[in-house]
Amino acid sequence: MNEIKIFCPATIANLNCGFDIMGLCLETIGDKMIIRKSPEKGIKITKITGANLPLETEKNVAGVAALAICKEAINRVSFKHGFEIEIHKKIKAGSGIGSSSASAAGAVFGINELLGKPFSKHELVNFAMKGEVVASGSEHADNVAPCLLGGFTLVRGYNPLDVIRIDAPSEIYAVVLHPNIEVKTSDARAVLHPMISLKDAITQTGNLGGLIAGLYTNDYNLIGRSLNDVLIEPLRKHLIPNFDQVKNAALQNGALGSGISGAGPSIFALCKCQKVAEKVAFAMSESYQNTGIEFDMHISKINPNGVNIIKN
Ligand code: ADP
């Protein structure tokens, strides 16, 4: 195989009580990438459509992630060629649904396939994380893990990287409202407090435990009760116009829970079944009409596979 075409899904990180550690993978929205072997050594980004992003390898998360896997792959397989990468963006950069992660995950997945899969999907998370430094200044796995592994993921720790994949209960749907405004991740980080109260830490860990237990036992009510965030949402929600109205609209129309996707500005809701998801999506859009801000809506099942090959 000399060339591979892949679907690189969008992801939702944090999931209210799982700040910086929980994520899930979406099915209906994602980028396409084409990776091919090239006689020239090294990594070259040859084409980007759908977004104005740097073609320079070191400035693009896909390029940096690709360099990271190639550096390590030399120790497992012998190859003398390089790789060319095409990125066809559908996920807007800075949307809060893992735009950069999709590129990082796609690059390492594609190269791993073309090299004959020397690494497991879990191992690939390590390389994709390196690409994230370009986007956010730090190696973090809360979007690249669900993008690569699918389902829900928990990043338990980094030293060494310990990622747990959890199957999604079969009826869960995600709804995402993406307002077309920019919330810089640095601004969303700057509003956070370095210290938290013991009371809030207990509430948050209780909810996180409840979310994990609910996912494992398919207990939708428990998932809903647990989708609360007492630490981050109260400090960040003012960065997203009409956040409270959208969240209330989602909850009043049957969503299990709703919150900020990643660092925002996207707002997500989780719902049991497609019918509820459609009703919730309608209510969320209605509550945003009067803001004058353009927005996109997505409804998606949870993607069980993560990044995958597009067969022609
Ligand atoms: P999101 O909020 O959707 O997760 P990020 O904040 O992760 O988006 O990433 C957006 C930032 O990463 C932008 O500054 C963008 O210029 C940079 N970036 C570099 N390479 C890419 C890429 N291939 N895809 C998307 N963003 C990229």
Reported as half-sphere exposure (CB side, CA atoms, 13 A), residue 146 has a value of 31
| 179 and 157, same domain (yes or no) | no
| 192 and 254, same domain (yes or no) | yes
| 148 and 21, same domain (yes or no) | yes
| 59 and 87, same domain (yes or no) | yes
Q: Of ligand 1's atoms, which has the minimum distance to the CA of residue 102? A: 24
Nearest-CA residue for ligand 1 atom 27 is 100
Which residues are near ligand 1 (CB < 6 Å)?
Answer: 53, 60-62, 87, 93-100, 103, 134-136, 143, 185, 262-263
| 180 and 137, same domain (yes or no) | no
Query: Annotated catalytic residue: which of 185, 203, 278, 291?
Result: 185
For residue 161, what is the domain's CATH number?
A: 3.30.230.10
Domain with 240, as residue range(s), is 172-301
Q: How confident is the model at residue 269 (pLDDT cuts 50, 70, 90)?
A: very high
Q: Domain count of the chain?
A: 2
**Can you tell me the mean pLDDT for 267-289?**
97
What percent of the chain has a predicted confidence (pLDDT) above 90? 96
43-78 per-position pLDDT tens digit? 999 999 999 999 999 999 999 999 999 999 999 999
| 136 and 186, same domain (yes or no) | no
Q: Which amino acid is at 246?
A: V
For residue 240, what is the domain's CATH number?
A: 3.30.70.890
Indicate the length of the chain as a whole number: 312
Q: What is the pTM of this model?
A: 0.97
Cross-strand pairs, 96? none
Is 132 an active-site residue? yes
| 234 and 156, same domain (yes or no) | no
In the prediction, which pLDDT does 303 show?
98
Query: Annotated catalytic residue: which of 11, 27, 132, 153?
Result: 132
| 182 and 72, same domain (yes or no) | no
DSSP string, 98-115: -HHHHHHHHHHHHHHHHT
SS3 79: coil
| 185 and 276, same domain (yes or no) | yes
**pLDDT at residue 1 tops 90:** no
Cα separation, 270 vs 257, in Å, equals 6
143-174 per-position pLDDT tens digit? 999 999 999 999 999 999 999 999 999 999 99
Distance 141 CA to ligand 1 centre (A): 14
Separate counts of helices (H) and strands (E) for the chain: 10, 11
| 54 and 35, same domain (yes or no) | yes
Residue 8: both structure tokens together: 């690189």
In the prediction, which pLDDT does 165 show?
98
| 113 and 239, same domain (yes or no) | no
| 17 and 154, same domain (yes or no) | yes
**Mean pLDDT, rounded, of the chain:** 97
Packing angle, helices 243-252 and 274-289, rounded to 10: 150
Closest CA relative to residue 174, chosen from 303, 294, 265: 303
What percent of the chain has a predicted confidence (pLDDT) above 70? 100
**pLDDT at residue 261 tops 80:** yes
**pLDDT at residue 80 tops 80:** yes
In the prediction, which pLDDT does 46 show?
98
